[in-house]
Amino acid sequence: MLDGRGLIRRRAGARLWLSGLWLTVFVLAAVLAPLISPQDPLAQDLMLERLPPAWVAGSEPGYWLGTDSLGRDVLSRIIYGAQVALAVALVAGLATCLIGSALGLVAGFYRGWADRIISRIVDIWMAFPPVLFAILLIAVLGTGLTSVILAIVIIDWTRFCRVVRAETLNQSKMDYVHSAKVAGFTRLRTLLSEILPNVLPVIVALLTLEMGIAVIVEAILSFVNLSISTDQPTWGGMIAEGRTSIHQAWWVLVFPLIALFFTVLSFAQFGEGLRERFDPVLR
Amino acid sequence: MSGFLEIRGLSARLAGTGQRLLRAVDISLPAGSVRGLVGESGAGKSMIGKAVLGVLPKAVEIVEGEILLDGQDLLKVPPAERRRLIGAKAALIPQDPLTALNPSRRIGPQITDRLVDILGWEKARAASRALEVLAEVSIPEPERVMRLYPHELSGGMRQRILIASAFAAEPKLIVADEPTTALDVTVQKQILKLISALQARHGTALLFVTHDLGVVSKVCDTLSVLYAGKVVEDTTVERFFAAPQHPYSRALLAATPRHTDPAASLQPVPQAVIDAAMAEIAAADAAWSAHG
Amino acid sequence: MADSIFQVSDLRVDVPDMTRKPLFGAAPRLEILKGISFEIPRGAVLGIVGGSGSGKTTLGRTLVRLVEPNAGRLLFDGRDIAHLSDAGMRPLRPRIQMIFQDPMSSLNPRLTVGRTIAAPLGAKVSDARVKAALEQVGLPADFAGRYPHELSGGQRQRVGIARAIAMRPDFILADEIVSGLDVSSQAQVLMLLEQLVADLGLTLVFISHDLSVIRRLCSRVIVLRAGEIVEDAATADLFERPRHAYTRELLDAIPIPDPSVRW
């Protein structure tokens, strides 16, 4: 046990730092996109189409990761694509987390009719196939960043709600909750000051996971052309376009895919790393 | 005379931190006798039982010493051979009857599996032996109980089944790890009497891990008192309860509740005794690292 | 009348038995407490003893109103609290405290010891009362900054006691508070409790499955079996002249740490 804990802790350092590093790069890229991207991400130049990355023969200086079939710079498009990914991850992730966790806490702690209503809604929600549900929602809401975020929140709040409710139920059975009652705490205070700190690690882990999932969902919607206008580069859109020219220009597909992969992975690892680093119980 | 189980100079430590868990433990258990391993949590009493049965957690590494089972050093034989040896000659009565049985399987196969899979018995023979031992632990209608699931039985019944299971293969050694801690005091008495009766009838050597000196005085012939992984006293039950030698043993006995003499029992262990015991261990550790 | 802190009469608790619930319709009721009556004089140390399933824990939790009884009267200081709402109980809470069996689960793992003791007082961790409570249970003041998992079992149970006495209660319920501890810390915690009860003039109910612990601490003992009181007697009488067969059975089953005593 002790030894296992020691081992985990050593790994946690690397996990937290590596994922944190990638997420920092990701956030900086999104925020500083206009300053750091080497080219205009929308500028088409048919003379420069399908240029390979800098280290492959036939490349052109200034186009580090090559260009796509319309001659647009892949690196610049990935950097600008980070903006959409970041917005979706933050806004959709946080909104999903807040709504789902709040409902989960209420259902798990107060039980009774609140729990019955919330749990039934979750059951019904879960019966919809999520991808079809998303496509349907976008069709109703119209395309655009807001619609994408709204669709993610509407679909994914149940993930938080279910897990947070289950964990709240578990914690509610612990004697420290009874002891709070004996101490004369109000129900709300017990929920916020006793139970919430113990459910928080789960919420944080889910939140970071959800941020990754939000990025993927946005990419999937872009892939089926249901996300945002073509004026704004997105990783999903790039992957969709790159797919058509995979044999002539693999880099158009591979680099946004790598960016997507590392971002999603880093979110999950970052959550796990945070928990291992800051949870007093694990320490 | 050497015992059926001989532990000599067994030292173990936590891999990674190097924290010492067992300190040159010597234990001798003649065939057919009962030895209590007594100590407080963390003293290493369960760990010795686990080491004998070859089920130490991965994080615990044995530094040196010998565990001789029927004359064969378990630490010197390859793992597969060790498992076969232990499976044939030793068994465990676990602490918690609620978790030691698989809740989703019937009682019968949980007893016979070990006989069939590890000892290679024929199924029919294993089944009839299971019925026999269940009857021996006074379980009514053993045929019916074999088909039940654990949750259909009370805690005391489950502990009987675990005892039956331990005796099923007629082992020469049984390690009982706090077998009655989870039970009511009236059930505890029945279970301990049962274990003692079976042990005597079959001539089994019994290594009895417990924190309860009251239980030791009823069940054991000899005992080893452990403190911080070190045997501080190794004596017979008669001598121990008449006049414990080590200060820590004395303090432990004085701390044990005794309703027949409330004023003399439940005495807190004096800090001086703990300090002296720790100093003794530190000195032994220093001597040990000097020669090693 | 006035010198009883609790008066309990015909107290009943039953719960739906979900293991025998039919597919449709209500589950049959399982009686946990079958009409229990007793009084707790102010300043008494009452032991409640019984095996598993005897209802002793439920009885304790009903006294501190973590459980609402189905029937019967539960007078605290002359006032029936059997069916008081959460809000109605709240003003009484500081006077009725409880120490739990498992100090690991009864201390919030993510709060420091100081916050655990301070929060019910509505005080800051630096409050003098927190320091005083720690001192009273024999823990150094710097333990206020520690988390429960950094303490030993005995130390955690001391924190549980500190939290209860910091409220300056009239009544404390101690539910199997030493059963998870080693004998040496068991003795220390019991001595501490014994002394605090005397110093603070508390009324204590001490629930245990272990009669030998009760003998040391309690002035009166109630023996429970299957939700009913089988014996209610002064401690010395109960141990020397047990009237009920079940009490004798319990006493006989205790392994006295002396090989010369037949068992």
Residue B17: closest CA among chain A residues belongs to which residue? Answer: A3
Q: Which two tokens stand for residue B179?
A: 């077998």
Please tell me if residue C245 touches chain B, with a CB cutoff of 8 Å.
no
| Residue C158 C-alpha, separation from nearest chain A C-alpha, in angstroms | 15
| Euclidean distance between CA atoms C257 and B264, whole angstroms | 12
**ipTM of the complex, rounded to two decimals:** 0.87
> Do A53 and A258 form a contact (C-beta atoms < 8 A)?
no
Which of B191, B257, B250, B181 minimizes the C-alpha distance to B219?
Answer: B191
> Do A152 and A226 form a contact (C-beta atoms < 8 A)?
no
Which residue do the tokens 């080497």 mark?
A38
The confidence score (pLDDT) of residue C244 equals: 95
The confidence score (pLDDT) of residue A3 equals: 34
State the pTM of this model.
Answer: 0.85
The confidence score (pLDDT) of residue C168 equals: 93
SS3 A101: helix
A187 CB neighbours in chain C (<8 A) are 86
User: If you average pLDDT over residues A152-166, what whole number do you get?
Assistant: 94
B-C interface: how many C-beta pairs under 8 angstroms? 105
- pLDDT-derived band at C147 (thresholds 50, 70, 90) equals very high
Residues in chain A: 283
> Do C257 and B213 form a contact (C-beta atoms < 8 A)?
yes
The confidence score (pLDDT) of residue A282 equals: 64
Please tell me if residue B42 touches chain A, with a CB cutoff of 8 Å.
no
The confidence score (pLDDT) of residue C135 equals: 94
| Euclidean distance between CA atoms A269 and A271, whole angstroms | 5
SS3 A248: coil
Please tell me if residue C19 touches chain B, with a CB cutoff of 8 Å.
no
Q: What is the DSSP string of B117-163?
A: HTT---HHHHHHHHHHHHHHTT-SSHHHHHTS-GGGS-HHHHHHHHH
Going by the DSSP 8-state scheme, the letter that residue A182 receives in this structure is: H
Contact between A4 and B19 using a beta-carbon 8 Å cutoff? no
> Do A143 and A228 form a contact (C-beta atoms < 8 A)?
yes
Q: What confidence tens digit (pLDDT) does each residue in A254-272 have?
A: 999 999 999 999 998 998 8
| Euclidean distance between CA atoms B199 and B205, whole angstroms | 7
Question: Is a pLDDT exceeding 50 seen at residue A10?
Answer: no
| Residue C111 C-alpha, separation from nearest chain B C-alpha, in angstroms | 25
Which of A84, A76, A66 minimizes the C-alpha distance to A252?
Answer: A66
Q: Where does B30-148 show beta strands of DSSP type E?
A: 34-38, 60-69, 72-73, 90-93
Contact between C259 and B217 using a beta-carbon 8 Å cutoff? yes
CATH of the domain at A236: 1.10.3720.10
Q: How many helices (H) and strands (E) does chain C have?
A: 10, 10
Contact between C253 and B186 using a beta-carbon 8 Å cutoff? yes
Whether the CA torsion A262, A268, A271, A274 is positive or negative: it is negative
The answer to whether residue A43 sits within a structural domain is no
Q: What confidence tens digit (pLDDT) does each residue in B40-69 have?
A: 888 999 999 999 999 999 999 999 999 999
Question: Is a pLDDT exceeding 70 seen at residue C262?
Answer: yes
Question: Is a pLDDT exceeding 50 seen at residue C209?
Answer: yes
Count of domains forming chain A: 1
Whether the CA torsion A63, A66, A67, A72 is positive or negative: it is negative
Fold of B5-291: Rossmann fold (3.40.50)
The confidence score (pLDDT) of residue C1 equals: 46
Residue B13: closest CA among chain A residues belongs to which residue? Answer: A3
C184 CB neighbours in chain B (<8 A) are 40, 251-252, 255, 268-269
CA distances from A283 to A176, C110, C125, C188 (A): 20, 11, 22, 29
> Strand order of the sheet with strand B222-227?
B90-93, B173-177, B205-210, B34-38, B222-227, B230-236
Burial class of C262 by CB neighbour count within 10 A (0 to 12, 13 to 18, 19+): exposed
| Euclidean distance between CA atoms A73 and A238, whole angstroms | 11
Contact between C216 and B155 using a beta-carbon 8 Å cutoff? no
- pLDDT-derived band at C200 (thresholds 50, 70, 90) equals very high
Question: Is a pLDDT exceeding 70 seen at residue B251?
Answer: yes
Q: Is C146 left (phi over 0), alpha (psi -120 to 50) or beta?
A: beta
Our CA dihedral for C110, C112, C115, C120, rounded to 10 degrees, sits at 60
| Euclidean distance between CA atoms A145 and B255, whole angstroms | 70
| Euclidean distance between CA atoms A81 and A256, whole angstroms | 9
Among the listed ranges A20-34, A125-139, C127-141, which one has the minimum average pLDDT value? A125-139
- pLDDT-derived band at A190 (thresholds 50, 70, 90) equals very high
SS3 A252: helix
Contact between C184 and B237 using a beta-carbon 8 Å cutoff? no
Which of C178, C173, C222, C228 minimizes the C-alpha distance to C197?
Answer: C173
Domain of residue A101, residue span: 14-37+51-278
Which of A169, C20, C186, A283 minimizes the C-alpha distance to B265?
Answer: C186
Helix, strand, coil shares of chain C as percentages rounded to 5?
40, 25, 35
Q: Mutating which of A176, A196, A199 best tests the C interface, going by the most C Cβ atoms within 10 A?
A: A176
Please tell me if residue B15 touches chain A, with a CB cutoff of 8 Å.
yes
Q: Which two tokens stand for residue B32?
A: 């057919």
> Do C66 and C231 form a contact (C-beta atoms < 8 A)?
no
Which residue do the tokens 């703990």 mark?
B274
SS3 B11: strand
> Across A23-27, A275-279, C210-214, which has the greatest mean pLDDT?
A23-27
Contact between A7 and B16 using a beta-carbon 8 Å cutoff? yes
Beta-bridge partners for C206: C47, C174
> Do C172 and C165 form a contact (C-beta atoms < 8 A)?
yes
Burial class of C7 by CB neighbour count within 10 A (0 to 12, 13 to 18, 19+): middle
- pLDDT-derived band at B263 (thresholds 50, 70, 90) equals confident
The angle that helices A235-244 and A250-278 make with each other, rounded to 10 degrees, is 150
| Euclidean distance between CA atoms B140 and C43, whole angstroms | 49
| Euclidean distance between CA atoms A106 and A165, whole angstroms | 8
CA distances from A215 to A154, A163, A258, B291 (A): 15, 21, 13, 62
The confidence score (pLDDT) of residue B291 equals: 66
C186 CB neighbours in chain B (<8 A) are 255, 257, 266
Please tell me if residue C111 touches chain A, with a CB cutoff of 8 Å.
yes
> Do B97 and B159 form a contact (C-beta atoms < 8 A)?
yes
Residue B109 or residue A282, greater confidence: B109
Q: How many helices (H) and strands (E) does chain B have?
A: 11, 10
Which of A96, A128, A100, A136 minimizes the C-alpha distance to A221?
Answer: A136
The confidence score (pLDDT) of residue B292 equals: 54
Q: List CB contacts of C195: < 8 A, sequence separation 6 or more.
A: none
Contact between A184 and C90 using a beta-carbon 8 Å cutoff? yes
The confidence score (pLDDT) of residue A133 equals: 83
The confidence score (pLDDT) of residue A8 equals: 42
**What phi, psi does B170 have (nearest 5°)?**
50, 60
| Residue B218 C-alpha, separation from nearest chain A C-alpha, in angstroms | 34
Residue B60: closest CA among chain A residues belongs to which residue? Answer: A3
- pLDDT-derived band at C185 (thresholds 50, 70, 90) equals confident
Among the listed ranges A131-140, B134-143, B172-181, which one has the minimum average pLDDT value? A131-140
For chain B, what percent of residues have pLDDT higher than 90? 75
The stretches of chain C forming alpha helices (DSSP H) are 56-63, 86-89, 103-106, 113-118, 128-136, 153-166, 183-200, 211-217, 235-240, 245-253
Q: What is the DSSP string of A14-72?
A: HHHHHHHHHHHHHHHHHHTHHHH-SS-TT---GGGTTPPPTTSTT--TT-TT-B-TT--
Q: How many CA atoms lie within 13 A of B71 on its CB side?
A: 1
Which of A138, A93, A95 minimizes the C-alpha distance to A263?
Answer: A93
Contact between C255 and B218 using a beta-carbon 8 Å cutoff? yes
Question: Is a pLDDT exceeding 80 seen at residue C218?
Answer: yes
Single-letter amino acid, residue B117? D
| Euclidean distance between CA atoms C255 and B217, whole angstroms | 8
| Euclidean distance between CA atoms A131 and A261, whole angstroms | 20
Please tell me if residue B278 touches chain A, with a CB cutoff of 8 Å.
no
Q: What confidence tens digit (pLDDT) does each residue in A195-245 have?
A: 999 999 999 999 999 999 999 988 888 887 776 766 788 898 888 888 888
The confidence score (pLDDT) of residue C166 equals: 94
Please tell me if residue B197 touches chain A, with a CB cutoff of 8 Å.
no
Question: Is a pLDDT exceeding 50 seen at residue C129?
Answer: yes
The answer to whether residue A6 sits within a structural domain is no
Residue B193: closest CA among chain C residues belongs to which residue? Answer: C263
Please tell me if residue C212 touches chain B, with a CB cutoff of 8 Å.
yes
**What phi, psi does A161 have (nearest 5°)?**
-60, -45
Q: Where does chain A show beta strands of DSSP type E?
A: none
Question: Is a pLDDT exceeding 60 seen at residue C223?
Answer: yes
SS3 C7: strand
What is the widest separation between alpha-carbon atoms in chain C? 59
Q: What confidence tens digit (pLDDT) does each residue in A35-85 have?
A: 988 888 888 888 888 888 878 887 778 888 888 888 888 899 999 999 999
User: If you average pLDDT over residues A84-105, what whole number do you get?
Assistant: 95
The confidence score (pLDDT) of residue B253 equals: 93
> Do B198 and B160 form a contact (C-beta atoms < 8 A)?
no
Q: List CB contacts of C15: < 8 A, sequence separation 6 or more.
A: C29, C30, C32
Which residue do the tokens 């069916």 mark?
C83
B187 CB neighbours in chain C (<8 A) are 51
- Name all domains of chain C by residue range, CATH numbers in brackets: 4-253 (3.40.50.300)
The confidence score (pLDDT) of residue A7 equals: 40
Question: Is a pLDDT exceeding 50 seen at residue A4?
Answer: no
Interface residues of A toward C, Cβ cutoff 8 Å, are 174-176, 178-187, 193-194, 197-198, 200, 279-281
